[in-house]
């Protein structure tokens, strides 16, 4: 019986030591959690601001892309307008040349020489 009392007291001491060690460990973990919560509280506004800045950056990138596309469209419209003007001018020149050619051919049919100084056209 004396041996069982000694074993009981020994187990009781070991249990108390384990409880004290676990309590200290728990207190350390709890204080660590509290410290981390404080740090999260400090970092959270900065993180939210970071997210806002990311959204703002994305919006600005889209805006810049839109501006560049607008410039590109304006440039292409300008090129198209210049090309249309050149095409119209060329068409007018072709029509003038056709008219001149047809009048020249008409005059040749009549027997008029367009180049009277050339010997091959003399009668």
Report the pLDDT value the prediction gives residue 123, as an integer from 0 to 100. Answer: 47
Confidence of residue 67 (pLDDT cuts 50, 70, 90): very high
Stated length of the chain: 123
Confidence of residue 118 (pLDDT cuts 50, 70, 90): low
Report the pLDDT value the prediction gives residue 111, as an integer from 0 to 100. Answer: 67
Please check the confidence at residue 122 and state whether its pLDDT lies above 50.
Answer: no
CB count within 10 Å of CB 34 equals 10
Q: List, in order, residues 6 or more apart from 121 with CB less than 8 Å away.
A: 113, 114, 115
Question: Is 120 among the domain residues?
Answer: no
Report the pLDDT value the prediction gives residue 25, as an integer from 0 to 100. Answer: 94
pLDDT digits (tens, 9 = 90+) for 10-36: 888 999 999 999 999 999 999 999 999
What distance in Å separates the CA atoms of residue 123 and residue 115, rounded to the nearest whole number? 12
Question: Is 47 among the domain residues?
Answer: yes
Place of tokens 């072709």: 94
Question: Is 117 among the domain residues?
Answer: no
Please check the confidence at residue 87 and state whether its pLDDT lies above 70.
Answer: yes
Percentage of the residues of the chain whose pLDDT score is greater than 90:
63
Domain with 54, as residue range(s), is: 2-112
Question: Is 28 among the domain residues?
Answer: yes
What distance in Å separates the CA atoms of residue 67 and residue 74, rounded to the nearest whole number? 10
Question: Is 121 among the domain residues?
Answer: no
Question: Is 87 among the domain residues?
Answer: yes
Question: Is 122 among the domain residues?
Answer: no
pLDDT digits (tens, 9 = 90+) for 33-60: 999 999 999 988 888 898 899 999 999 9
Beta carbons of 40 and 47 less than 8 angstroms apart? no
Question: Is 30 among the domain residues?
Answer: yes
pLDDT digits (tens, 9 = 90+) for 72-84: 999 999 999 999 9
Give the total number of structural domains in the chain: 1
CB count within 10 Å of CB 81 equals 10
């Amino acid at each position: 019986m004396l041996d069982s009392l000694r074993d009981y007291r020994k187990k009781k001491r070991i249990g108390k030591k384990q409880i004290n060690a676990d309590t200290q460990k728990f207190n350390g973990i709890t204080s660590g959690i509290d410290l981390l919560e404080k740090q999260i509280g400090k970092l959270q506004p900065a993180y939210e601001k970071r997210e806002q800045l990311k959204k703002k950056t994305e919006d600005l990138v889209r805006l810049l892309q839109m501006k560049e596309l607008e410039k590109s469209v304006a440039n292409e419209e300008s090129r198209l307008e210049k090309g249309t003007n050149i095409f119209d001018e060329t068409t007018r020149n072709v029509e003038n040349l056709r008219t001149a050619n047809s009048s020249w051919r008409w005059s040749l049919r009549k027997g008029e020489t367009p180049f009277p100084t050339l010997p091959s056209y003399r009668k």
